[in-house]
Amino acid sequence: MHFRANTMYTCQNQPCRAKWQSADLEFVNEGQGYFFRCPICGARNKVEPKTLADGTLVYEQASR
């Protein structure tokens, strides 16, 4: 399984809104699904893991 590293994510905390590449983030299952924490403000941002047909793992950011 490969991981796509060039996807961009946006912190959904309105005062922050920082943008990050997936290589800068850690995706963790915190018991309520997968999230990344913004390195600046610490806000939890929900993502959904998907495996593409070629075996690449991608995380799609869930909208609020």
The predicted-structure confidence for 36-64, as pLDDT tens digits, reads as follows: 999 999 999 999 999 989 988 889 998 76
Q: What is the mean pLDDT of residues 15-22?
A: 95
Share of the chain above pLDDT 90, in %: 72
- pTM here is 0.83
| pLDDT for residue 40 | 97
**Is pLDDT above 70 for 1?**
no
Q: Mean pLDDT over all residues of the chain? A: 89
Strands (E), the chain: 2-3, 8-10, 19-21, 27-29, 34-37, 44-51, 56-61
